[in-house]
Homo-oligomer: A and B are copies of this chain.
Amino acid sequence: MKPVEYATAPEEVRAVFDDIMRTRDVEDVNNFWKYLANEPRMLRHVWESLKEIMGPGALDPMVKELIFVAVAITNNCKYCKVSHMAQARAKGATEEMLNEMIAVTALANMTNRLVNAYDPPVDDMFRS
């Protein structure tokens, strides 16, 4: 499938592209959005969800980018990793932070499988 460029995009796609560019103060949307525009309904839902959840909230926006990257690394999604790693850096993440996030992600993937293997019952202290 081919990317949808602004010049030839239908009205509903342009509206989302405009909002992305305005919100992020950039002059073009990155490739993810141009390809997703093949499905204008998802383009709108995904953008509105990300705009609200990844912005100011209970967690620091930089922390949310780190969580996003941790999931992308777990799922082996390269584009997701490099794009959100760039956003994490733009929001203040240092190389030390990124390396430590990678370490946590790797260790979690290891201990997840140790739990799958040994199947320990949930301790009483962890029951809510």
Copies in the complex: 6
**What's the Cα separation between A120 and B58 when bound, in Å?**
23
Query: How many A residues face the partner with a CB closer than 8 A?
Result: 78
Is A15 an interface residue when CB atoms closer than 8 A count as contact? no
Q: Which secondary structure dominates where chain A touches chain B?
A: helix
Q: Are B57 and A107 in contact (CB under 8 A)?
A: no
Please judge, given known A-B contacts A45-B48, A53-B100, whether A122 and B78 are in contact too, CB under 8 Å: yes
A39 and B110 contact, CB distance less than 8 A: no
Are the CB atoms of A105 and B111 closer together than 8 Å?
Answer: no
Q: Does A104 contact B (CB under 8 A)?
A: yes
Q: How far is the CB of A90 from chain B (nearest CB, A)?
A: 10
The reply on A22 being an interface residue by CB < 8 A is no
* Beta-carbon contact of B97 and A117 below 8 Å: no
- A46-B110, A99-B39 are known contacts. Are A105 and B120 too (CB-CB below 8 A)? no
